[in-house]
């Protein structure tokens, strides 16, 4: 098993891609720390992992609150003494035209989607041993977006720039950093998108990915099998970006 006894911290682990990633890592032997805001949903993820024979704990953490992030990482380090894998999946979207968007919404989105990645990277790196990895979950919106989601697309573009820049500051034999960019995936975020609901953003259900397909790619990027992959973004989108 690729993650036997490795400590894996996953944000957004209570649903969608984050939950599927937690389950995949747990099935491969990881000690999974499921981060999220909803304890009920977190308990479902943990139960799923434990039912499969894996190890998991839920820790409540609101990524909009820097002190909560610090406290959570401190708790993880106190319990496990290290962090082998950091997966930053949690994200939020807004759906207003920029001229109508209250700027506090912009700030909140950047706090959750982008600043939390920087803070978690800062806090986790001192406790990440040789062979560790960080995987940031971006989006095809970083390259091919739609109207009314400018803050989200901006945060994902910046995330990919963060990954490229951080790769120059890290020895990839110690800690690798990469991003995975999903396309349309069967998650609550996709079907709750007002643009999708209204038909403004056309989704071909035949090309919608499964969370488990994204989890497989994320697990690969986090594993030693990807030991020579560093500072890049893997698009997992069913060929969507190939149409650009």
Spatial distance between the Cα atoms of 174 and 201, rounded to a whole number of angstroms? 41
Give the integer Cα–Cα distance in Å for 94 and 109. Answer: 8
Marked catalytic residue, from 48, 152, 156, 222: 152
Reply yes or no on whether 80 is catalytic.
Answer: no
Residue 133 CA to residue 86 CA, distance in Å, equals 6
Phi, psi for 166 (deg, rounded to 5) = -65, -30
Distance CA 111, CA 127 (A): 23
**Phi then psi for 8, rounded to 5 degrees?**
-120, 120
Q: Which residues contact 98 (CB under 8 A, 6 or more apart)?
A: 150, 151
> Cβ(178)–Cβ(137) under 8 Å?
no
Tokens 């963060």 correspond to 162
What are residue 127's phi and psi, to 5 degrees?
-115, 15
CA–CA dist 139, 120 (Å, integer): 19
C-alpha of 174 from chain center: 21
Which residues form the catalytic set? Answer: 152
């Amino acid at each position: 098993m690729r993650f036997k006894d490795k400590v894996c911290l996953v944000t957004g682990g209570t649903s969608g891609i984050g939950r599927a990633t937690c389950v995949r890592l747990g099935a491969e032997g990881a000690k999974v720390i499921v981060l999220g805001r909803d304890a009920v949903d977190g308990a479902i993820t943990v139960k799923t992992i434990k039912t499969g024979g894996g190890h998991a704990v839920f820790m409540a953490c609101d990524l909009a609150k820097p002190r909560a992030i610090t406290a959570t990482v401190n708790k993880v380090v106190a319990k496990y003494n290290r962090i082998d894998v950091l997966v930053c999946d949690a994200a939020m979207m807004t759906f207003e035209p920029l001229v109508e968007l209250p700027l506090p919404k912009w700030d909140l989105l950047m706090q959750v989607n982008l600043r939390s990645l920087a803070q978690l990277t800062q806090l986790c790196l001192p406790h990440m041993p040789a062979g560790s990895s960080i995987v940031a979950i971006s989006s095809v919106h970083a390259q091919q977006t739609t109207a009314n989601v400018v803050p989200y697309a901006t945060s994902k573009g910046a995330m990919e720039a963060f990954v490229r820049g951080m790769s120059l500051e890290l020895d990839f034999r110690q800690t690798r950093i990469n991003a995975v960019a999903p396309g349309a995936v069967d998650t609550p975020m996709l079907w709750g998108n007002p643009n999708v609901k209204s038909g403004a953003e056309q989704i071909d259900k035949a090309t919608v990915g499964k969370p488990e397909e994204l989890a497989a790619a994320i697990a690969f990027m986090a594993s030693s099998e990807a030991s020579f992959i560093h500072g890049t973004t893997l698009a997992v989108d069913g060929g969507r970006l190939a149409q650009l």
